[in-house]
Amino acid sequence: MTRRPKFRQAASSARDLAAEVVYLCDQDGMYANVAWSQALSGKEMDPRDRRFAMEIAYGSIRRKKTLDWVIDQASTRPSRQMDPLARALLRTGAYQLMFMSRVPPHAAVSESVNSARRLGHRGLASFVNAVLRRIASPGYSPEFPDRKGDPVGFLSVSQSYPEWLVRLWIDEYEMDVARTMLEAGNEAPTVVLRANRRTTDRSGLSRLLASGGVPTEPGFYCPEALRISGAIDGVESLPGYDDGLFSVQDESSMLVGHVMGVDGLCSMGEGAGGDGPLGERPLVIDTCAAPGGKATHIAELGGDRVQVVACDLSEERVSMIQEAAARLELSSLQAVCCDARELPQAYSGKADAVLVDAPCSGFGVLSRRPDARWRKSPGDIEELSALQAEILDAAAQCVKPGGVLVYSTCTVGFRENRGQAERFAAKHEEFSPSAIGPYMPSDKARALCSADGYIVELLPGMSGTDGFFIARFVRESGSNG
Active site residues: 410
Element (H, E) at 126: helix 122-136
DSSP character at residue 190: P
Residue 70: how many CA atoms within 13 Å on its side-chain side?
Answer: 28
How buried is residue 167: exposed, middle or buried, by Cβ count under 10 Å (0-12/13-18/19+)? middle
For every residue of 455-470, DSSP letters joined together read: EEEE-TTTSSS--EEE
Q: Estimate to the nearest angstrom the gap between the alpha carbon of 105 and the chain centroid.
A: 32
CA–CA distance, 173 with 171 (Å, rounded to integer)? 6
Q: Quick one: residue 476, left, alpha or beta (phi over 0 = left, psi -120 to 50 = alpha)? A: beta
Q: Which of 402, 435, 460, 452 is nearest to 259 (CA)?
A: 435
Neighbours of 113 (CB within 10 A): 21
CA–CA distance, 127 with 89 (Å, rounded to integer)? 10
Contacts of 20 by beta carbon, 8 Å cutoff, 6+ apart: 5, 7, 10, 35, 39, 88, 119
DSSP helix/strand/coil, 136: helix
For every residue of 227-289, DSSP letters joined together read: EE-S--S-GGGSTTTTTT-EEE--HHHHHHHHHTTHHHHHHHHHHTTTTS-GGGS-EEEETT-
CA–CA distance, 59 with 79 (Å, rounded to integer)? 18
What residues does 78 pair with on adjacent strands? none
